[in-house]
Amino acid sequence: MSAAMRVEKRLDLVLLWHMHQPDYRDYTTGEFRLPWVYLHAIKDYTDMAWHLEHHTGVRAVVNFAPVLLDQLEDYADQFAAGRLRDPLLRLLARAEDKPISEEERALVLERCFHVNHERMIQPFPAYKDLHELFTKLEARGPDSLHYLSDQYLFDLLTWYHLCWTGETVRRSSETVTRLMTMGMRFSYADRMELFKLIGELVSGIIPRYAKLAASGRIELSTTPHHHPLAPLLINFGSAREAEPGVVLPLSPEYPGGYERIESQLQMAITEHSRRFGEAPAGVWPAEGAISTAFLGLLGAHGFKWTASGGKVLMNSLRGPEEDPQRTIYRPYRHVGNAPDLALFFRDDRLSDLIGFEYAKWNGHDAAVNFVSELEAIASKASSGETPLVSVILDGENCWEFYAYNGYYFLDELYRLLESHPVIHTTTYRSYLSEAGTGAAALERITAGSWVYGNFATWMGSTDKNRAWDLLCAAKRSFDMVIASGRLDQEQTRAAYRQLAACEASDWFWWLGDYNPSFAVTSFDQLYRADLSNLYRLLNLPVPADLAHPISHGSGHPEAGGVMRRAVEPAQGS
C-alpha cells in the first residue's frame, strides 16, 4: 500500500451482526418447543461478544430482535428459579435414579444428532462413536434402539451440549475441557457442572452486550418485536413492486397490518429502552425488508437510520450508474416519505463471502482476503471521497460451518481491522454524528428484502400463500372477538401476544423445498400450533384446516444437517 494511500484514502466499514430466533415457547404451557435460543447463546452470542470484548479497536452494530431477548431473559429466570421449561435442559439435569421415558428417549435420539456432522461430531471421537452406534442399531430396525441404555442417552445429551459450546468457552472453561477429555460415562455431577455453566453463559448474554454498548464499542439496534415482515403485513401488493407477476394470497390484505407493525415497533422501542437505558437509534428490519409506507412509519417514530439489501437499492434507482461503488457505498434519504431517516444498503457480495464462502477457507487467509477486498474498494474511490461499506448478515448461523466456530477468521479479521491505516470500523449512529447530512436523495423505494431484493422467500408459492391466508383468517376472527369485548384484560393481553408470535416472518421462510425436510415439518407444525392456540385464547373452535400440514413437499433431504437461517447468495451477487 502506497504512502499516499495511507494518508489520503479512507474507507468506513459498518459490520452489522443480526441476532434473531423466533419465539419457540408454547404460551399455553410455557414449554420451549425447540432449543435454538439457548444453544446459540452458549455458542454464537457468547463467541461474538468475546471477539468484540478482546478487540477494543473494532466497532460494530449488533441488532437483537426483541423476541430473542425475551427468551434469553426467560431462560435466565428458569436457571435462577430452578424450574426448567425446556425438555432437553430438564433431561441434562435429570438424576440418574430417575429413568428416561420412551417419549424422552425418542426426543433425545431425534434432537441430539441434528448438528453439522463435519464440524460438530467428526472432530470428537466419543461423540462420533455414539453416532455410529446409533446408525448401526437404527439400520436393524427401531426395536434395536431399545438396547441403548440410559447412560448412553445421558452421554449423548452431554456431548450434544458440549459440541454447542463456543470456541471461546472451550478455551476458557475447565469444565468443558475436562468433560471432553473424559469422553463418556458422565455422572450426574458431571452433567450438573455443565448445566451450571450453560446457565451462567445464557444469563450473561444481555449484560455483556449492554456493557459493550455502554462503553461505546458497539451500537445496539432493534427490529419490530416479533420479527414481522413489515412491508407485506402493511400491503400484500408491495410484493409486486420487485416481481410484478408474483401470485398473491387469496386474502386481499392482512387486516390492520399497518397498526400491527406500529404496535410491534413501539413495543421494540419500549423493551430496548428498558433493557439498555436508551431508545434505539436504528432498525434493522426483519429480513431487511423495506417499503415506502414502512419507512414513513420508522421516520414518524424518530429513528435515525435503517438498512436493507443492495439489490433493493438497485431496484429503486432510476437509471443506476454503471459503477456500483458510486451508489451502494453512501447513505441515502427518501425525499418523499422519511426525509430525516438515513438509509444504508448492504454490500451483498462481501456479506455473502462471510456467510457462505469463507467457511471453506483457512481462517487467516479468509480474513486477509476480506481486507484486501475492502482495500480495493478504497483504492477506487475518488480523491476526497470516503466509501461507506455495509456488511450485514446473521451473527449466529454461519459459524457452525466454519472450523472452530469461526474463531480464527474473526480473531484475525478483527486484528487486521483495528490496526488498519485505511479501513475505519464504525457504527451507523457514529457515522451520522460525524458525517452530518451528506446523504444522496432517493426519489422512490421499490419494496424488497435482503434476499434477492424481493419477497419470493416469504410469498408467492402455494404453501407460503396458504400460510398467509390462514393468518389472515385468524386475524379477522381476532378483530371480531376483541371488538366484542368478551375477553377480560388478561385474556386480551395473552391473545395479542399470541397474535404477534403468529406474525413472525420465520413461519413463511421455512415453507420451502430448499430447506431441510425436518425443518419444514417442524416449523409447519409450530406455526399451526401457534394459530390453534390463538383460536383457543379467543374462545373459538380451532378450524379443521389447522390439523393438516401446510406444506405438501418433503423439503430438502439434508440428513444430519442443521437449520441454517440463511439462503445461498443470488447468482452474480
Q: 211-255, pLDDT tens digit by residue?
A: 999 999 999 999 999 999 999 999 999 999 999 999 999 999 999
Query: Full-prediction pTM beyond 0.85?
Result: yes
- Check residue 339 and give its pLDDT: 87
Strand pairing category for 11-19 and 388-394 = parallel
According to the model, what pLDDT value does residue 513 have?
76
Position 177 pLDDT exceeds 50: yes
Type of residue found at 66: P
Cα distances (angstroms) measured from residue 82 to each of 59, 461, 549: 37, 44, 36
Q: Which is more confidently placed, 7 or 243?
A: 243
CA 518 → CA 254, 352, 521, 555, 557, distances in Å? 29, 25, 5, 8, 8
Closest among 428, 439, 450, 509 to 312, alpha carbons compared:
450
Q: In what helix (H) or strand (E) does residue 135 lie, and over which residues does it extend?
A: helix 125-139
Does residue 459 have a pLDDT over 50? yes
* Confidence grade of residue 326 (pLDDT, cut at 50, 70, 90): low
pLDDT band at 391 (very low <50, low <70, confident <90, very high): very high
| DSSP codes of every residue in 333-402 | EETTTEEEEEEEEB-HHHHHIIIIIGGGS-HHHHHHHHHHHHHHHHHTSPTT---EEEEEEESSSSGGGS
In sequence order, which residues have a C-beta less than 8 Å from that of residue 325 and are 6 or more positions away? Answer: 377, 380, 381, 387
Answer yes or no: are the C-beta atoms of 236 and 249 closer than 8 Å.
Answer: yes
What's the grid cell of residue 265? 415497533
- For 539-566, the pLDDT digits (tens) are 999 999 999 999 876 555 543 334 344 4
Least confident among 187-196, 381-390, 411-420, 424-433: 381-390
How far is it, in rounded angstroms, from Cα 46 to Cα 481? 43
Q: Residue 13 has what pLDDT?
A: 98
Q: Hey, what domains does the chain have and what are their CATH numbers? A: 3-20+223-442 (3.20.110.20), 462-547 (1.20.1430)
At residue 325, the pLDDT reads: 54
The residue behind cell 441434562 is 92
Whether 358 has a pLDDT exceeding 80, the answer reads: yes
For residue 103, the one-letter residue type is E
Report the distance separating Cα 220 and Cα 64, nearest Å.
Answer: 7
Q: What share of the chain is helix, strand, coil (3-state, %, to 5)?
A: 55, 10, 35
- C-alpha–C-alpha distance, residues 239 and 224, integer Å: 19
pLDDT at site 573: 30
User: What is the pLDDT, as a whole number, of residue 516?
Assistant: 81
What's the pLDDT at 216? 97
pLDDT at 4: 38
Q: Which residues contact 163 (CB under 8 A, 6 or more apart)?
A: 115, 120, 121, 124, 127
Confidence of residue 337 (pLDDT cuts 50, 70, 90): confident
When the pLDDT of each residue in the chain is averaged and rounded to a whole number, the result is 93
